[in-house]
Amino acid sequence: MNTKFNYKQFPITHWSTVGFDTMGPHTITMWKDLGITLGIIPETKPEEKEAVLAFLDLVAENGMKTLIRDPRTAFMTYLALNDEEAFRRGVKEAVKDFGSHPAIFGFYIGDEPNSTQRDAAFRASAIVREEAPELVPFLNFYPWNPVYGPNMSEYLQVSDLQTYLDNYVKECNPAVISYDCYTACLGKTMADSFNNHGINDYFFNLHEFYLASKRHGVPFNTCINCFEHSWYRCTETDMRWQLSTAVACGASMVTWFIIQLSWVMDNWRNAAINHAGQRTETFDRLARTNRMFSDYCGKLIPQLTIDECYHVNRAFGGFPLFEPFGNVLDVTCKDEWSKEDTPAIISRYHDADGRVYYGFCCVGETGWATADIRLKPGVTLERCQVNNRFEPCGLAVDTITQEVIEGQSPQKLHINTYCGQFLLFREV
């Protein structure tokens, strides 16, 4: 089972609304400044081939890869042509033009197909996979909102999300399964999201794609929110929380919606780059979120395969509530101010050598949580530090007195953490 990509760093990509004619060396600089590790080239035209190849050279020179939106691989083209062989000829041409370039990660297929577009989207994805088996056909799906399940079922003409994903894998042999869900940011505050259905819907979709990913051995991508639009807020805590919980629940890739706006649209506002081309405060917040994650564990996570994922204190979206597993006997997490239980996630991973890792993420809205992980006798952990390296955990000390906390031992790890922080540990 392979639920990860052959990519040296965790893929963090994005949506935007700009055209290819706006791209150049400054785009690479922007991606790096923002912490984007996987680019995306907007829709191109046939006459732009040489310019696209020149841009791909720049991407490769900077040690990156990119998805490309070539209309010849889009399911909307499949629909418009109404001729599968003609579509396949176009795909072959696109692969011939760009597929062998070292900067190409994959081809964009389309976004959120409805029931009338489903067959075309599936066939387009399958054909691109057949013609470029070493690349990623990127087709993104709607989220499934359990509150509006009957409406989603009618809109997609399928009884449940697992059936839909099973059919996609069976018919298309995809290199990734992908969806978007922004409901973690539903409401004016994070407390609103916990009290309405936003957080639960967010985890429901993570759980559905996590299950499909494990069942079929296909990595999954989740598109998460990084700007204010419709009824969605977005703070730096929201960004960090979404990225960390996605990774803790097994995502092999994330896509930020949306980093750059090129027009005025409804109440969409404060993207990382606005329509005047200015970097906003959102740019700085998103850059910190991405770059701090990559500097911490962005080279390690792509080497790991998730085995199990449990929610602690409160389970959301169908994830199981913690019970002892493997070498983990107990996990607690409390808000340090109220001393009340606060939700968290603990996951187990392994690398190619079979070595065991654990991810931990505080889910609750708090600036200071304390967690304890109790292990079987004889099992000790080391913790990930900046620059993707590990160091011994040692005994926990009080943050004020610097005295060793009573009852601590190598088999009881004490953690000081905060909302949305992802922490990675490894068995010694």
Q: What is the pLDDT of residue 408?
A: 53
Write down the residue that tokens 């996605």 correspond to: 246
User: Is the separation of the CB atoms in 242 and 256 below 8 Å?
Assistant: no
Instruction: State the pLDDT at residue 410.
Output: 60
pLDDT number for residue 399: 54
Q: What is the pLDDT of residue 313?
A: 98
The pLDDT of residue 395 = 57
In this structure, the chain runs to a length of 428
Class of the 12-303 domain? alpha beta
pTM of the model: 0.95
- Which residues, given as ranges, of the chain have pLDDT below 70? 1-4, 146-150, 394-410
- In this predicted structure, what is the pLDDT of residue 400? 60
Residues 6 or more apart whose Cβ sits within 8 Å of residue 392: 382, 383, 428
Which structure tokens are listed for 43? Answer: 């829709």
CA distance 353 to 164: 34
* Residue 197 Cα distances to 41, 204, 399, angstroms: 34, 10, 36
pLDDT tens figures, 230-271: 999 999 999 999 999 999 999 999 999 999 998 888 889 999
pLDDT for the residue numbered 147: 63
Tell me what pLDDT residue 56 has: 98
Residue 1 confidence (pLDDT): 41
- Bond preceding residue 258 cis, omega within 30 of 0: yes
Sorted by where each begins, the domain ranges of the chain are 12-303, 306-427
* pLDDT at residue number 159: 82
Q: How far is CA 356 from CA 30, 302, 325, 328, 347, in A?
A: 36, 14, 13, 11, 11
Q: Do residues 65 and 38 touch, judged by C-beta distance below 8 A?
A: yes
